[in-house]
Structure formats: structure tokens, C-alpha cells
Amino acid sequence: MNKRPLYRVLYYLGIGHMYKAFVNKKRCAILSYHSVAPHNSENALYKDMFVTPENFEAQVKYISENCNVLSLEDLNNKLSDKSLPEKSVVITFDDAYWDIYEYAYPILKKYNLPAAVFVSTLYIESGKSFYWDKLMSILNSAKEMSFRGEVNGKDIACNLTNEGSRNNAYFAFIDLFKCEYFERKEELLGQLAEHLRADMDSYKTKTLTWDVMREMKNNNITFGSHTHSHEVMRILSMEEIRKEIEKSKEILDNKLEQVTEYIAFPYGSYSDIGIDAPKIALELGFKRAMSLEQGFALDNSDEKLLKRIGIGGIDSHEEFQLKLLGLIPALNLAKKCILKNE
């Protein structure tokens, strides 16, 4: 069921304003973006990852006029002393894509707003691409329009004859590869490219450079860790988790001449993060960690692992406002509770 028409109806019925009267106002919406870039044929398989510059500016304009936009350091301090202002918002980006500098950064400067970028250090100035970008490249350049065979121990059948079927295949392979180590992902992608007679590198990950990050750092942008190689923390040993976080922190500290104090874990669900990674991050000196569990940072909470609100490329402006109010996470939570009790 497509819930987006329901969100629009709720918005125009004024349900959000009624809901707002009953919720804790001393809370912060930590917004999570990935890319800000125009939609095109190259990124069509994952449109929700790419917020257009026009939509991003509309969202930034709205929060600049209606919210208290904080830096991560402001948020940490205000949570620590229980002084969080009403309608607080923090803007964050994961993965450090180049388009953050090209499209988002000028908009943030225009409205004089702070933001934070979480960096997976393996991919900076290394020529390496995130596996989901390589997968997009494979499916977009495939010469074989169907595939049936074993991939990573599972029988897979898919066709790539139209955008819808390629989209389904994309997310099926994402799920299949996600919990593998970096080297194994590379091996599996190579096998898939061979099966489909595709170019694995026609769409390359383009990240921020260290020089650009140093410029941004001097203009209201905080840089935090997104681990080193963007692995699922839950599948790693405690020693591997520590190495992932330590290496990322060491590189960021040295390259940006800073003390890196904030981390966002890759993939971001509690089940992907596991229980060890947040503890290890705190042991290594991080002040706060970020998940992608949907929700708010609360003024009366001492949580060190904070929830965020994902903002997608297919969100309407009405849906964006309902997310800021917390109505959509609340509806999703209610749905989970209902299904659990059936």
C-alpha cells in the first residue's frame, strides 16, 4: 500500500497541528540525508537517496523560518544540561558524497545554517566506490536483460527489462550483499557483472576531498565518523569494530586537524549496529553516536545513541513537515504495535 496519499490527506486535514499539541516539544529532529542531486537516469534505481536541490532548499528554508537549527556540539551541550529549545533540528549527511559540496553546501551557507557530515574514510580520495553505487552501475549497463542462477548461496531470478524490474533487482541484491565483508562484496559484484555482461564502474562514487572538507569545516560544517569501510557493525568481532572506528577517527583527526567526537553507524538500524559498537565508540572518546532508527533526541533523555529522521528524495513537502512533527514515526510505531498484538 502506498501511504503517501494518506500523508497528504493528514496534512491538509490539520492532523499534524492537533498532534503537535500533545507531544513533548523539548526534542530535536536530527535529519538524515545522503545525497542532494538532480534525479537522472543514472540514479533512477534509488531515487529516495537523492533529494533534489530544489526540494532541499525548500526544506532548509522551512526549518530556518520555523525551527531552531543546532550544530551537533550545540545539541550535545543542550542535551547534557537539559536546555534543549523547542522545535530543535540538526541537519546531517551520511557517506560524504561530492554533491553535498556542489548542491547542499551553498544552500546551507545561503541560510547560514550548520550541518554535520559523517565520513567513511576508506572511500575518500581512494578511487573506491560504495557497493550500492557499483550495483547501480551494473544494473544500468547490463547487456543481459534477465538472470537466473546462484548468487552468494541463494538462487536468484530477475529481469531487467524496465525501471521497475531493475529497481526490484537492485534492492534484492542490496539485501543479499549488505552483510558481507568489503572484499566479499567486491567478489560478488564482479561475478554479477560478468553474468550480466555489465560495466561495474560506469557509475563511480564521487566523494568529498580532504581540501573541500577543510573548507567546509571552517564554515559551520562538523565532520564525524561513519566508520572506515562502511561495514555492518553487527557482523564484526569486537576487535574489528574497534579497528573500524579507531582507524576512521585517526584519519579524520589527522586530515582535518580536529578531535572527532561524533559517529553515525552505517545502515543505522539497531539490529545492524548491535550492542557492542556504541559502547566501543564511547570508550574511544566519542560524545554521541547516531542511528537511523526513526525518532527524536529528547531533552529528558541521557541516551548516547540518538535516533534520526530519514529524509528521502520522494518525500513531498507535506510529508517532510509531518516527519518534523513526528507524526509519521508515530503512525509507524502504532502500526507495529497493532501488528504485534494481532
State pLDDT tens for residues 46-60: 788 999 999 999 999
218 contact partners, CB below 8 Å, separation of at least 6: none
The span from the CA of 25 to the CA of 161, in Å, is 49
Dist. CA 288–CA 306, nearest whole Å = 7
Tell the burial category of 157 from Cβ atoms under 10 Å away from its Cβ (0-12, 13-18, 19+).
exposed
Q: Which helix H or strand E contains 157, and what residues bound it?
A: strand 154-159
CB 69 within 8 A of CB 90: yes
Q: What integer pLDDT is reported at residue 9 of this predicted model?
A: 46
User: Which secondary-structure segment (H or E) carries 119?
Assistant: strand 115-119
Cα gap 329→324, rounded to integer Å: 10
pLDDT of residue 41: 66
CA distances from residue 95 to 127, 192, 263 in whole angstroms, order as listed: 14, 24, 12
Is the sign of the CA dihedral 148, 151, 154, 158 positive or negative?
negative
Residue-level pLDDT at 12: 45
Q: What is the CATH number of domain 4-126+206-341?
A: 3.20.20.370
Q: 205's torsion region: left (phi>0), alpha (psi -120 to 50) or beta?
A: beta
| Residue 232 DSSP code | -
Q: Tell me the pTM.
A: 0.90
Element of type H or E holding 276: helix 276-283
Give the pLDDT confidence score for residue 219 in this predicted structure. 96
- CA nearest neighbour of 115 among 127, 106, 126, 124: 106
* Residues paired with residue 37 on neighbouring β-strands, in sequence order: none
Residues in the chain where the model's pLDDT stays below 50: 1, 6-7, 9-19, 21-22, 334-335, 338-339
Domain boundaries, the chain: 4-126+206-341, 131-196
